[in-house]
Amino acid sequence: MENLLTDAFLSSLLTGAIIAGIPLLLAGLGEQMSEKAGVLNIGIEGMMLFGAYLGFLVAFTFSSVWLGFLGGIAGGMMVAALMALFCVRLGLNQIVIGIGLTLGAEGLTALLHHFQFSRTYPRLPAPVRADLPLLTDIPILGPSLFGRHPVVYIALALVVIMALLYRRTNLGLTLRAAGEKPAALDVAGGRVMMIRTAAVLFTGAMAGLGGAFMANIAAGIFIPYMTGGAGFIGIVLAMLARGRPFWVLTGALIFGGALSLTTALQVAGSNIPTDVIQMLPFAAVMLVLVLYGRKARLPAALGLPYERGAR
Amino acid sequence: MRDLARSDHPLPAKGADAVGLVNVTKRFPGVVAVDDVSLTVRAGEVHVLLGENGAGKSTIVGMLAGLQEPDNGHLTVGGGRVRLTSPSGSLEAGISTVFQHGMLVPTLTVFENLVLGDTWWHRPPRALVERRIAELQRDFGLDVPLDALTGELSLGQQQQIEIARALLRDSTVLILDEATSMLTPAGADELGARMRLLAGRGLAVIFITHKLSEAYRFGDRISVLKQGQFAGEIPPEELRGQTEVDAVEHMVRLMFGTGSAAPASRRATRAPGPVRLAVDALRTEGGAEVLALRDISLEVREGEVLGVAGIDGNGQKQLAEALAGQRPITQGSVLLDGTDLGRASVAERRRRGLRYLTDDRLSEGSVGAFPVSENTVLKEIGAPPFWTAGFERPGRIAAHARDLISTYAVRTPGEATPIGHLSGGNIQKVLLGRELTGDARVVVFNKPTYGLDMQNITASRKRMREIAEDGRAVLLISTDLDELIELADRIAVIVEGRIRGTLDNDGSGEMRLRIGRLMVGDLEAAS
């Protein structure tokens, strides 16, 4: 075991934590916004998967990772548009619709992928990196933290942007009011339906971007069902973060670390059974929920459709 | 709020039409909530809308606030016809509403609540809000701690914040819906003084209440609503000339008196039989949400109808539920034919002949998606003859239901139709039939004709009369005085969970006023 803590191991662990954490971060930030607005977005797993599929397809077809990200955002938003239609406009049950959308996206992407590529899994060329000069030269930390794809920095910047948005603008206020007491927002002249729709679409965009990151950057390949519950971990992150974007970041890195530990431990050739190692991230979810789940304070109107004048 | 510094709505001259209803009718499924009401609210006046619960006050508030639109008729603002299709539309028309149940977000700070509803990219500068709030503090004594968390403030303080918000928006019309119901008497007086001040500045204030003494003390003009209809008005010149006692008497007459003589069809009282139901010093637990019953004592005799009158929400539902076994009693006893029911369950009470017809036909009384047939046996699930050895006998249930449908003249396509598709009156017939099945001895009715149309009301009343004439005992809880005077032998008046008095119903025209006086009580107790 003493040879575990080598430079190579730590470096790959850190790199892995970031690569695996970014999709979780994006999903968590997205989910956080729709939960703030009172929509429990269980469909986020489906949005991620569809984003991964469309993101990969666009990147593969046009040989452009950047276009691929736009494709991923569009894919996530398409699924989110259905969520907004059914759960915000029509006021249907958010859990049922969310599960339906997730299952639908799983089936549809697997089918479409099979239809187009049959049993082959074409690979994208290695992603570009934005090496930040000097910083990249720091040992261990340098290459892990500062030699990444620009989307990594965009995602990190989003954490700051969201924090400012929630704290400083009336949009943050409107979102919170929509999630806590939509009737109060309505009679104050705010627009509940519009803010909730916008929040769900934003969730779709973030989830789609996260999915595309998984396919185009982390894996370089699309495999059906490849998100493997990342969207659901995003929901957990959003709930535990209690509305704070920086907590989502912390959580995403912890879970990302657990995910990458599974790879790193296998690379290091430890004699712990693979099954136990692969269980780690989910054990981490359970542990965190047991420890902090009771403290999660969710918006009062989360999951409740709003209808004007209903008593 | 668009421009905090500038007045969007210059106040109209005092006495000018601020807002009005013209022949407005609003229906909800099974109920006409507002029935052809016209009224005008003038700038510089505190206009009191007075009426019992269910009189249509809240619906009028909802329409003025843009939550609902009238089915017929229209609204006016500043004398011109308008449509208020949304709360923001209503705010733009200069109408601000302080709802009965506060409409602030408890998890936001006071400042955040004040600026809520503004466009998303913009937040009014804090300094500007502070300046305006300081003015409001000076002019109207409003206490607005900008950085406090709203949910931690008292209800009275929250209400002041809502009023401040309305003033920040430069509203010309301020609606206060049951604004004193959550306040202490001192707080209510303070609010009253503030209303007078606001009206003095030229605002039109609409004050909704069911407390007569507040209406007299705070109001310039009083409009009385009764069962969705406009029952009359006391204009300022008349109100000013009256003493409080005279004014309250006037309001009681408008609220409770039709001016007509006793209903012609009053049931003839027969010699009372033995006591069927005896309630002795009954108490239930209360809390912030539910009123407690305090020392309720009643007797209902065979062949007798005992009416329970009262303004809605004074413990009627608790009384009915306590009798039916749905609400635990903390003290006292309920005797059925001399036997203490003690802790008997709902089913046990029903089996012994105590039947309860709920006022909540749709959610408590029936399962909307189930067919009529199953609803007729809902209270006998698992019992023979409709179930044998644990198996449902659909044939027997259907036959029973068909029987009930024809006996009670239920208008339904068939016994297999989901009961939720029927009208309120027909659901009521099914429920009545269900409660009278078997050996019914005492029947408790809670607002049996509420929300029904005239024809069904007549039929229901006829049915209740027959039940009593068959030798059963009837406890009739109703907010409709006409109904009680028509049917009851004696009428007990319930106020805040206590029986304030019981009157022998002589059917005279004086009955309404006597009941009404007991209901609103003496002036002190009423406010």
Contact state of B62 with A181 under an 8 Å Cβ cutoff: no
Chain A residues near residue B99 by CB distance under 8 angstroms = 187
| 3-class DSSP state of B354 | strand
Distance from CA of B37 to the nearest CA of A (A): 20
Cβ distance B31 to B37 under 8 Å? no
Q: Which of A99-103, A220-224, B415-419 has the highest average model confidence (pLDDT)?
A: A99-103
Distance from CA of B137 to the nearest CA of A (A): 21
Tell me the two tokens of residue A105. 């996206």
Q: What is the pTM of this model?
A: 0.70
Nearest 5°: phi and psi at A25? -60, -50
Residue A80 lies in a domain: yes
Chain B residues near residue A181 by CB distance under 8 angstroms = 103-106
Q: Among B1, B67, B121, whose Cβ lies nearest the Cβ of A308?
A: B67
* Better-predicted residue by pLDDT, B4 or B185: B185
pLDDT of residue A11: 75
Residue type, B113: N
Tell me the two tokens of residue A130. 């934005």
Q: Among B87, B106, B112, whose Cβ lies nearest the Cβ of A189?
A: B87
Contact state of A185 with B105 under an 8 Å Cβ cutoff: yes
Contact state of A183 with B107 under an 8 Å Cβ cutoff: no
Contact state of B105 with A184 under an 8 Å Cβ cutoff: yes
Strand B305-309 to strand B473-477: parallel, antiparallel, or no bridges (unpaired)?
A: parallel
Residue A64 lies in a domain: yes
Cβ distance B443 to B357 under 8 Å? yes
Cis ω for the linkage preceding B394 (within 30 of 0): no
Contact state of B103 with A181 under an 8 Å Cβ cutoff: yes
Does position B61 have pLDDT exceeding 80, yes or no?
yes
* Better-predicted residue by pLDDT, B271 or B250: B250
Q: Which domain holds residue A218?
A: 7-120+144-295
pLDDT of residue A31: 94
In chain A, whose CA is at the least distance from the CA of B97? A187
Residue A127 lies in a domain: no
Residue A92 lies in a domain: yes
Residue A135 lies in a domain: no
Residue A311 lies in a domain: no
Contact state of A177 with B108 under an 8 Å Cβ cutoff: yes
How many CB pairs (< 8 A) connect A and B?
79
Contact state of B115 with A169 under an 8 Å Cβ cutoff: no
Does position A271 have pLDDT exceeding 80, yes or no?
no
Q: What angle do CA A122, A123, A124 make, to 5 degrees?
A: 130
Strand A130-131 to strand A147-148: parallel, antiparallel, or no bridges (unpaired)?
A: antiparallel
Tell me the two tokens of residue B182. 């959550």
Chain A residues near residue B113 by CB distance under 8 angstroms = 184, 188
Task: Give B468's contacts (C-beta < 8 A, 6+ positions apart).
Answer: B267, B303, B304, B305, B474, B487
Identify the bridge partners of residue B221 per DSSP, sorted by sequence position: B47
Contact state of B67 with A309 under an 8 Å Cβ cutoff: yes
Tell me the two tokens of residue B469. 């004439």
Contact state of B87 with A173 under an 8 Å Cβ cutoff: no
CA-CA distance, B53 to B480, in Å (whole number)? 11
Contact state of A170 with B165 under an 8 Å Cβ cutoff: no
Chain A residues near residue B62 by CB distance under 8 angstroms = 309
Instruction: Calculate the average pLDDT of chain B.
Output: 84
Q: Among B62, B67, B116, whose Cβ lies nearest the Cβ of A188?
A: B116
Strand B391-392 to strand B95-98: parallel, antiparallel, or no bridges (unpaired)?
A: unpaired
Does position A88 have pLDDT exceeding 80, yes or no?
yes
Identify the bridge partners of residue A131 per DSSP, sorted by sequence position: A147
CA-wise closest residue to A10 among A124, A144, A132, A138: A144
In chain A, whose CA is at the least distance from the CA of B87? A187
Distance from CA of B503 to the nearest CA of A (A): 36
Chain A residues near residue B65 by CB distance under 8 angstroms = 187
Chain A residues near residue B105 by CB distance under 8 angstroms = 176-177, 180-181, 184-185
Q: What is the pLDDT of residues A171-209, one digit of tens each?
A: 888 999 999 999 999 888 888 999 999 999 999 999 999
Cβ distance B449 to B426 under 8 Å? no
Contact state of B105 with A176 under an 8 Å Cβ cutoff: yes
Contact state of A309 with B68 under an 8 Å Cβ cutoff: yes
pLDDT of residue B222: 92
**Could you give the number of structural domains in chain A?**
1
For the ranges A233-247, B58-72, B255-269, B485-499, the lowest mean pLDDT is seen at B255-269
Contact state of A181 with B106 under an 8 Å Cβ cutoff: yes
Residue among A33, A161, A173, A194 with most chain B CBs within 10 A, to mutate: A173
> In sequence order, what DSSP letters do the residues of B68-84 get, joined into one string?
S--SEEEEEETTEEE--
Residue A149 lies in a domain: yes
pLDDT of residue B523: 39
pLDDT of residue A310: 59
Cβ distance B183 to B191 under 8 Å? yes
Chain A residues near residue B97 by CB distance under 8 angstroms = 187
Domains and CATH numbers, chain B: 12-110+172-256 (3.40.50.300), 275-353+439-526 (3.40.50.300), 371-423+430-438 (no CATH)
Q: What torsion do the CA atoms of B185, B190, B194, B197 make, to the nearest 10 degrees?
A: 110
Does position B7 have pLDDT exceeding 70, yes or no?
no
Q: What angle do CA B465, B466, B471 make, to 5 degrees?
A: 100
CA-wise closest residue to B477 among B448, B513, B503: B448
Residue A116 lies in a domain: yes
Does position A211 have pLDDT exceeding 90, yes or no?
yes
Tell me the two tokens of residue B319. 């009384």
pLDDT-derived band at B527 (thresholds 50, 70, 90) equals: very low
Distance from CA of A60 to the nearest CA of B (A): 38
Distance from CA of B1 to the nearest CA of A (A): 10
* Mean of pLDDT values over A265-270: 70
Distance from CA of A71 to the nearest CA of B (A): 28
HSE value, Cβ hemisphere, 13 Å, CA-based, for A126: 3
Which strand ranges, in their side-by-side order, compose the sheet holding B498-504?
B354-357, B442-446, B473-477, B305-309, B490-495, B498-504
Contact state of A180 with B107 under an 8 Å Cβ cutoff: yes
Q: What percent of chain A stands above pLDDT 70?
A: 87
Q: What is the pLDDT of residues B497-508, one digit of tens each?
A: 889 889 888 877
Nearest 5°: phi and psi at B231? -100, -15
Does ipTM exceed 0.95?
no
Q: What is the CATH number of the domain that holds A280?
A: 1.10.3470
